[in-house]
Amino acid sequence: MRRMNMTTSQPGTEIGHSWGIRVYYEDTDAGGIVFYANYLKFFERARTEWLRACGIDQNRLADETGVIFIVRSTAVDYRAPARLDDVVKVVSRIERLGRASVDFAQEAWRDGTLLATGSIRVGCVERTALRPAAIPPQVLAALRRGPGVRDGGVSTNAC
């Protein structure tokens, strides 16, 4: 059993976020374990909650700047099963923050047991043309500060 220990190799990668989700019947397969594709849903929800915790409202961001985030690539490694009623904790951190994309490292845990790991690249694109776009500066700043942190007393909800 591997214990939770997320190491970092780049400055700024120590900023992370964790979010819990309970496993429901709809998340399981006929064998009573979480269906493999649902870990991608768990990871998506955790990234969305991280953005919220950073003060980034994705609908408002799209309306005000014309950009949205899309998943460009994923890789998931499954280690142990989660079952009905388990509480899964998804731990996320930024591995790389680029001009138009973000690489996330995500892990799903249950009571100290690593269930799955994921590497997800998210790109920023123009909402209508779906062409790559620069991540707005206020979003970059909010991601660098991390969840719940304010810059000089100013809410990151200004994104």
Q: Evaluate whether 97 touches 141 at the Cβ level (below 8 Å).
A: no
Say how many CA atoms lie within 13 Å of 143 toward its Cβ: 24
Q: Which two tokens stand for residue 17?
A: 């976020």
Q: Evaluate whether 114 touches 26 at the Cβ level (below 8 Å).
A: no
Q: Which two tokens stand for residue 32?
A: 């009573």
Say how many CA atoms lie within 13 Å of 56 toward its Cβ: 26
Report the Cα 121 to chain-centroid distance in Å.
Answer: 10
Catalytic residue numbers, as ranges: 29
